Structure formats: structure tokens, C-alpha cells
């Protein structure tokens, strides 16, 4: 039974080529009918006397020739409508008629030359009268209306029927086009609705057979795609759920060793330690706190909790100290030296030099070049989320530490600068590595770009600069990177100052 219904449906289906052929045939048939109908209308009008045939004037002149010969100088009643005439004596002198002055001489010249052809499709008829005068009649071979008022306000019947043909032709084309377009659009309506539902991931719909074979084939493909997409989305959802559960479990498991590390570091901090060991303990506790924040971020992302920070104001001096401390910690972790070139207030210079001396105790050479304060540096404030700025800065530092020569280390420069009429705090990191290639300069700030594809042992995913750029732009800043004029790469974090 089902097979018989399927066969019946297939028999009723049309093809697009069949529809177009039907349109072409109907268009041609209607065009022929329009032309034939106008011709028939012209014959009916002529038969009814509403339109005078093209040779009407010529026939009338032939019929009333004798009357015109006897009429003398007043043959108006025998002159057909639409004709003009003139009466001349044997010497060609003008006697009477309705020729204009410009037409009189040419008409007599045509008579003398026995030339019956006038200009613009007009003709002359020469009729000698009984009194010896010559009657010259000018007529044409065009159709005319029976009523003179129509001859004055309308184009000639031939032109009028031609215009009517054109208008009906256009109406025919527009009507048939809209008719067939509407038919196809009705069939495509459901198709558009299905694609919109698939686009919005609404897969709860049923497809119905179409009257057009090609559209029915597309319907079938969309139905198959719907089922495939449903299976894919289900599998993706299951995989995402599994990942979420694994990440939640991993984040929970990390807390245990992190708590142990934090507890032991706190116990060490309570002991009498050397300056070097005390500083290392402080770094451990500081980074443990950062990891706890990151775990909280992971938890918020997993459970869809908003983790927006509220922006606040921080002085340039304080932010500069935070950036410098982060650079010292990254350098210590990577066991590389770091050179600072910072514009800071004089009263802070002593403290920063002392911090550099402390860090030297770890065996790493950390030269420091402080400068006197400037009014710009000491008075500026920044509206930002410090946590996001530090995350961006640490990504830049880690990127440089990975690529630099281990003996040369990093150079960190922090100062004020201007860009596009605005004031920025510029924090720059220079490494002593190979620098950026031309391709790196184009794609380095894009996600998942990790430079040389031959280095498969790299542990990161090419997100460092991309994350730093996003964090800085969220705070109204910007990221610039390029090659240093001497050696290595240089990345600048520009933080807008109020």
C-alpha cells in the first residue's frame, strides 16, 4: 500500500524543466493570441465603420471623380476626410482650396511632371474639371478613425494597435512570471522554513513531499541532514558534559595538593629563614593564591557563573610595582636574569633597588636602572581590573622567557608614552631570542598560532599573545609587538592612563 502511494506521488510530481517549458509554451501561445486578437479587433472596427481602411480616400476620390469635375472651385463636399486640395487654372495660377502657401507650388510642379508621389507617404490625384481648371487632391494610404476628434487626440490606428500589442505583451510576461514565481515560492516556502529551523538548531520538525521533484530531493537531503545533525549535537553534548565533569573533578583534585603546598609554605614562612628562602616562600604563597583564583574561574565557567570583575582605580606607581614583581617571579621560575629600565618616583627607587639586591641572592643577576620621577608618572591613575592586566603581562613574560637566550635573559622597560593623543603606561618585554619571523608578525596575536610548525615538543597552544591582547583591549589598552633593532623580539603592553 505504501509503495503504491509513493508511486502515485512520484507520478504527480513535476520537474523544474517541465515548469519552465510550460511557462514558455503559455507565453508563446498568449503572444500569438494577443497579436491575432488585435488583428481581429482591427477587422471588426473596420467592418463596423469605426476605422476607415487605408485606401478609403483613394476609393472615395475614384467614386466621386465626376462630381469633383463638375464642382468647379467648390468641391469640398466631395473631398474625403483627411485630404487637402487646390484648384489651379491652366497656367498654374492658384484659385481656391485648403493647401497652405508652402504646398501650392510643389503640388503644381508635381502635376506638370506627372509625378503623383508626395512626401511622407502621401500621394496626389490630378482631376481635370469641365471648366478647364485642375483640381489637385493630396491624400494618404493610412488607416483613420471615423471621428475626426479621435484622429486629433489619438495616434493612428496602426500605431495604436502596435502599442496595444506591446502593452498586452508586457502584461502577459509579468502575469505569467508572477504566476510561476508564486508557484515555485510556495514550494520553496517550506524549504526556507526548514533551513531556518536547522540554522537555529530547532530539529523538531517533519518534512513533507513537494510537488516539484528537485525540491523534494532537497527536502529529503535536509531531512537526512537533520538526523545527522541531531546525532552530532547529541554526541557533542555528551562529550561536553563529559569534559565538564572531568574538568570539575580535576579542579577539585588540584585543591588537595595545592592545599598541602600552601600549608607547608605557610609553615616554612613561620620559621626563621634566610632572606633568599623567605623570598622564595613568599613567591610560592603568592602563586598558590593565583592558582586558587584560576581554579575559582574554572568553577565559575563550568557552572555558568558570571566572573566579571568590577573595574577600579590604581595608581601608575602601584601598578608598576605589581608588574615588576611579576617579572621577578617569572625570571626566578625560569632561572634567567632580568634587567629593569623603569621610570618611577625617587622615593620608590631605593625600595626597588633593595628588591633587586634581594633577588641577586638567588644567584641570578638582576641589574636595575631606576630614573628620577616625572610629573606624569607620579600623578597618573588607571581605571582597570588589575587581575586582567597582570594575567596579560604574565603571558607576555612567559612568552619572552621561553624564547630568550637563558644567559642573556629578559629586559623589562616601564614608562609613560603617548599614542593617538592619549597617555599610556607602556610595559615592554625584550628577549634575546631569534625574534619574530615575517609570518609571526602577521599571525602572532591570533589564537592557536604557535610559530614554527616543526617544533612539536612545545607545550603551549599558541594562546599567549592572543590572550594578552584580548585582556588589554578589554581594559582599553593595546598590544604591540615587533623585533628589537639589535636582537630578539619586543612586546609592548599599553595600558591607558586616565
On the question of pLDDT at 348 being above 50, the answer is: no
Distances in Å between the alpha carbon of 100 and those of 67, 84, 114, 135, 138? Answer: 24, 9, 21, 15, 12
Grid cell, residue 402, equals: 621561553
The pLDDT value given to residue 356: 38
Higher pLDDT, 33 or 303: 33
On the question of pLDDT at 429 being above 90, the answer is: yes
Grid cell, residue 81, equals: 476626410
The pLDDT value given to residue 312: 77
The pLDDT value given to residue 261: 81
DSSP, residue by residue, 351-415: HHHHHHHHHHTTT----EEEE---HHHHH-EEEE-HHHHHHHHHHHHHHHHHHS-TTT-EEEEEE
On the question of pLDDT at 2 being above 80, the answer is: no
The pLDDT value given to residue 461: 41
Q: Of all residues in the chain, what percent carry a pLDDT higher than 90?
A: 6
> Which value, in Å, is the radius of gyration of the alpha carbons in the chain?
50
The pLDDT value given to residue 297: 67
The pLDDT value given to residue 450: 53
pLDDT, averaged across the chain: 76
How many alpha carbons fall within 13 Å on the CB side of residue 33?
8
Higher pLDDT, 21 or 452: 21
At 487, the pLDDT band (50, 70, 90 cuts) reads confident
The pLDDT value given to residue 351: 39
Span 92-97, average pLDDT: 89
On the question of pLDDT at 454 being above 50, the answer is: no
The pLDDT value given to residue 428: 92
DSSP, residue by residue, 449-466: --S-TT-TT--S-S-HHH
On the question of pLDDT at 349 being above 70, the answer is: no
Q: Of 158-172, 191-205, 405-419, 432-446, which range is least confident?
A: 191-205
State the Cα–Cα distance between residues 209 and 13, nearest whole angstrom.
9
Q: Answer yes or no: are the C-beta atoms of 120 and 141 closer than 8 Å.
A: no
The pLDDT value given to residue 208: 66
Higher pLDDT, 140 or 46: 140
State the Cα–Cα distance between residues 320 and 415, nearest whole angstrom.
9
pLDDT tens, position by position, 103-121: 888 889 888 888 888 877 7
β-strand pairing of 410-419 with 134-140? unpaired
At 182, the pLDDT band (50, 70, 90 cuts) reads confident
| SS3 state at 179 | helix
Grid cell, residue 59, equals: 476609393
State the Cα–Cα distance between residues 332 and 377, nearest whole angstrom.
27
The pLDDT value given to residue 202: 64
On the question of pLDDT at 410 being above 90, the answer is: yes
β-strand pairing of 338-343 with 410-419? parallel
pLDDT tens, position by position, 411-420: 999 988 888 8
Distances in Å between the alpha carbon of 87 and those of 61, 95, 138, 492? Answer: 15, 5, 12, 107
Sign of CA dihedral 374, 378, 384, 390: positive
Amino acid at each position: 500500500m505504501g509503495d503504491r502511494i509513493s508511486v502515485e506521488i512520484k507520478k504527480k510530481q513535476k520537474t523544474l524543466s517541465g515548469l519552465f517549458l510550460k511557462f514558455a509554451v503559455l507565453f508563446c501561445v498568449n503572444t500569438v493570441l494577443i497579436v491575432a486578437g488585435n488583428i481581429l479587433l482591427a477587422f471588426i472596427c473596420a467592418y463596423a465603420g469605426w476605422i476607415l481602411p487605408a485606401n478609403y480616400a483613394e476609393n472615395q476620390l475614384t467614386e466621386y471623380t465626376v462630381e469633383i469635375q463638375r464642382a468647379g472651385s467648390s468641391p469640398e463636399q466631395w473631398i474625403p476626410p483627411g485630404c487637402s486640395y487646390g484648384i489651379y487654372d491652366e497656367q498654374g495660377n492658384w484659385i481656391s482650396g485648403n493647401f497652405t502657401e508652402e504646398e501650392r507650388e510643389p503640388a503644381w510642379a508635381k502635376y506638370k511632371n506627372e509625378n503623383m508621389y508626395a512626401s511622407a507617404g502621401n500621394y496626389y490625384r490630378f482631376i481635370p474639371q469641365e471648366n478647364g481648371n485642375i483640381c489637385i487632391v493630396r491624400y494618404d494610404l493610412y488607416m483613420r478613425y471615423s471621428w475626426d476628434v479621435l484622429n486629433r487626440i489619438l495616434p493612428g490606428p496602426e500605431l495604436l494597435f502596435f502599442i496595444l500589442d506591446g502593452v498586452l505583451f508586457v502584461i502577459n510576461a509579468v502575469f505569467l512570471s508572477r504566476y510561476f514565481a508564486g508557484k515555485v515560492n510556495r514550494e520553496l516556502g517550506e524549504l526556507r522554513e526548514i533551513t531556518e529551523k536547522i540554522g537555529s538548531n530547532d530539529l523538531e520538525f517533519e518534512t513533507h513531499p513537494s510537488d516539484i521533484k528537485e525540491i523534494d530531493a532537497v527536502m529529503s537531503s535536509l531531512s537526512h541532514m537533520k538526523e545527522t545533525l541531531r546525532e552530532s549535537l547529541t554526541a557533542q553534548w555528551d562529550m561536553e558534559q563529559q569534559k565538564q565533569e572531568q574538568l570539575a573533578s580535576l579542579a577539585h583534585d588540584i585543591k588537595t595538593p595545592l592545599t598541602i603546598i600552601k600549608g607547608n609554605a605557610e609553615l616554612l614562612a613561620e620559621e626563621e629563614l634566610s632572606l633568599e628562602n623567605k623570598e622564595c616562600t613568599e613567591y610560592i604563597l603568592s602563586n598558590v593564591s593565583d592558582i586558587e583564583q584560576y581554579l575559582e574561574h574554572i568553577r565559575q565557567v563550568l557552572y555558568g557563573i558570571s566572573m566579571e570583575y568590577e573595574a577600579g582605580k590604581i595608581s601608575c606607581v602601584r601598578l608598576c610595582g605589581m608588574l615588576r614583581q611579576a617579572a621577578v617571579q617569572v625570571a626566578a621560575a625560569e632561572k634567567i636574569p632580568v634587567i629593569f629600565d623603569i621610570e618611577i618616583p625617587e622615593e620608590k627607587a631605593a625600595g626597588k633597588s633593595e628588591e633587586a639586591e634581594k633577588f641577586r641572592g638567588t644567584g641570578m643577576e638582576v641589574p636595575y636602572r631606576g630614573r628620577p620621577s616625572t610629573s606624569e608618572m607620579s600623578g597618573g591613575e588607571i581605571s582597570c581590573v588589575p587581575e586582567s592586566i597582570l594575567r596579560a603581562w604574565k603571558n607576555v613574560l612567559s612568552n619572552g622567557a621561553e624564547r630568550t637566550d637563558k644567559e642573556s635573559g629578559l629586559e623589562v622597560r616601564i614608562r609613560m608614552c603617548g599614542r593617538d593623543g592619549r597617555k599610556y603606561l607602556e610595559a615592554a618585554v625584550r628577549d634575546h631570542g631569534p625574534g619574530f619571523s615575517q609570518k609571526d608578525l602577521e599571525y602572532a596575536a591570533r589564537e592557536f598560532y604557535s610559530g614554527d610548525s616543526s617544533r612539536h615538543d612545545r607545550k603551549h597552544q599558541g594562546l599567549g599573545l592572543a590572550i594578552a591582547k584580548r585582556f588589554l583591549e578589554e581594559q582599553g589598552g593595546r598590544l604591540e609587538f615587533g623585533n628589537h633593532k639589535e636582537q630578539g623580539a619586543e612586546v609592548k603592553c599599553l595600558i591607558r592612563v586616565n
